Amino acid sequence: MPIVAQSWSKPRSILKQAENADARAARRRSGGSPVANLLIVVLIALPVLLVQPWMKHTLPLPQPYQDMFTDVPGGPQLFSKGTPVDATEYLLQSPCEGNLFNEMGYGSYMTWAYYPAGQIFIDPRVELYPLEQWEDYAAMTRGQQVGSLLDKYAIDCAMIDVHYQQQMAEVMPNLPGWQRTYQDDETEIWRRTQ
């Protein structure tokens, strides 16, 4: 009751201000100027459209930023330098007969570029793979139990990153029954020969 009593006892000037505010709000609710509304939409949407992947190559971006990407026909500035574009193209030309082991970071690109020619071993979507597979992947990356784990998963080809998986890359030449069939600055592809 005290709040109601205070509200009823407000001076007339405050009530008049409230009525004026209500009138201004009603004018705003009517939609305002269509041209002004369109201008606001364009000003909000334009920057978002300019930074989309299909527009990025047209922007005057600094050269060090542009150098971070590999040149892919039809996909400028979409894939970083470490993306195994050439190695995946090699696999498409000379497919792996059987299961493929791949470096985790390669998985996203290979899911897009290598499917349906083959399926990948692992990718950054950790929730899709069992913990045991992640533990085995980590062990192989560290160069531990590489031969037995490749056998466990019946892997016939291994696509490894020579920098991130350096210890595995050092083990592979010593594994009997494996031969390197592809090599570039970033990636090696090994195939089972027996």
Do 94 and 52 lie in a common domain? no
pLDDT at 63: 85
Do 107 and 152 lie in a common domain? yes
Domain that holds residue 149: 85-192
Do 115 and 44 lie in a common domain? no
Do 114 and 156 lie in a common domain? yes
Do 36 and 98 lie in a common domain? no
Residue 74 Ramachandran class (φ > 0 left, ψ -120 to 50 alpha, else beta) = left
pLDDT at 100: 95
In a domain, 76, yes or no: no
Q: Which residues of the chain carry a pLDDT beneath 70?
A: 1-32, 73-75
Residue with the two structure tokens 């996909």: 75
Do 122 and 177 lie in a common domain? yes
Do 104 and 182 lie in a common domain? yes
Do 141 and 186 lie in a common domain? yes
Take residue 104 and report the two structure tokens written for it. Answer: 């985790």
pLDDT at 24: 64
pLDDT at 143: 96
DSSP, res 80: B
Is the pTM value of this prediction over 0.85? no
Query: For the chain, how are helix, strand and coil distributed in percent, rounded to 5?
Result: 50, 15, 35
Domain count, the chain: 2
Q: Is the dihedral of CA 22, 25, 31, 34 positive or negative?
A: positive
C-alpha angle with apex 152: 141 to 177, nearest 5 degrees?
80
pLDDT at 37: 77
37-76 residue pLDDT tens? 788 888 988 888 887 877 777 778 888 887 778 777 666 7
